Amino acid sequence: MENSDIDFTDSIPEFYDTYLAPLIFGEFAEDLAKRVMVESPKTILETAAGTGVVTRVLAPQISPDVKYVVTDLEQEMLDFAQNKQPEQANVIWQLADAQDLPFDDASFDAVICQLGFMFFPDKIKAAAEAKRVLKPGGEFIFNVWDRLENNVFADLVSQAAAKIFPDDPPLFLERIPFGYYDNDAMRKTLQDGGFKHIIIQDKLAVSTAGSALHVAMAFTHGTPLRNEIEARDPDGLQKVALAAVNLIEDYLGKGEISAQIQGFVITAS
């Protein structure tokens, strides 16, 4: 994996939370929180929390005696998430690498990860770490995106980027966030990490945006796709965003637009 694939620094967190989060993360976050609360866990660890989309859904639902530790690899993302969240004594914010967790064995009833597992360079190690810190009977619950072609908005933005850079298309979206969809590969990764019981379920939703510009800004400015574009052309961000707007409007029309988003929810224990 390239370093730029996990670089959510500079202004990306703000664009991520303002544009991308409401566009494609909301329903997946609600679903993940609901699944976690079924077992009424007393200790919860969230890895790769990003700007805190799941945290904002889950934290108000837990009782004061529940310990909820929220982590991310990037301090800037973690700070952004914490600043967006009302102060809550039982919600603890901590910088941590999901592949090398700074917690004792058998510390948590649940480990959750919202659309972050595909970013981990060593997924087996990340799975093994989740298993290590889980108490007996605990669950690792996370979600990932399906292939790019089944996520219309992201696919159109990726196509637009390829039109601007036909000889060297930026492939971040296809390679990372929408590149880990093989169910057999997921199952093997989790088994190699020590999990025995694995359930993989489809998650289909509809994403709605007020305009094509919102969609273009979400993916070009709010993800590390930005790093790939600017590496090719310092002025390329606006070019790709405008190309994406035109392509999205040609495909879906102007004004408010809706399109399919699709992923998987995985429960391992």
Provide the residue ranges of all domains of the chain, joining segments of one domain with +: 3-268
Q: What is the pLDDT of residue 2?
A: 44
Residues 160 and 27: their CA atoms lie apart, in Å, by 26
Confidence of residue 107 (pLDDT cuts 50, 70, 90): very high
Secondary structure (DSSP) of 20-83: IIIIIIHHHHHHHHHHHHTT--SEEEEES-TTTHHHHHHGGGS-TT-EEEEEES-HHHHHHHHH
Q: Exposure pattern of 69-89 as b/e (b: 16+ CB <10 Å)?
A: bbbbbbebbbebbbeebeeee
The CATH T-level fold of domain 3-268 is Rossmann fold (3.40.50)
The DSSP symbol for 17 reads I
> pLDDT tens digits for 15-44?
889 999 999 999 999 999 999 999 999 999
- The predicted-structure confidence for 42-60, as pLDDT tens digits, reads as follows 999 999 999 999 999 999 9
In this prediction, residue 13 carries a pLDDT of 81
- Looking at the chain, the whole-number percentage of residues with pLDDT higher than 90 is 94
* Predicted confidence (pLDDT) at residue 1 exceeds the cutoff of 60: no
Average pLDDT, integer, range 187-199: 98
Q: Check whether 81 has a pLDDT greater than 60.
A: yes
Q: In this predicted structure, what is the pLDDT of residue 261?
A: 98
d(CA 8, CA 74) in angstroms, rounded, equals 7
Q: How confident is the model at residue 161 (pLDDT cuts 50, 70, 90)?
A: very high
| pLDDT surpassing 50 at residue 3 | no
Over the chain, what is the mean pLDDT? 95
Of all residues in the chain, what percent carry a pLDDT higher than 70? 96
Compare 154 and 15 and report the one with higher pLDDT.
154
Instruction: Dump pLDDT digits (tens) for 224-244.
Output: 999 999 999 999 999 999 999
What is the structure's pLDDT at 16?
86
Say if residue 226 is exposed, middle or buried (CB neighbours under 10 Å; 0-12, 13-18, 19+): buried
Cα angle 33-39-44, degrees, rounded to a multiple of 5: 60
Task: Indicate if the pLDDT at residue 193 is higher than 50.
Answer: yes
Report pLDDT for 5: 42
Q: What are phi and psi of 210, to 5 degrees?
A: -70, -20
The pLDDT score that the predictor gives to residue 96 is 98
Query: Which pLDDT score is estimated for 196?
Result: 97
Query: Tell me, what's the pLDDT at 12?
Result: 74
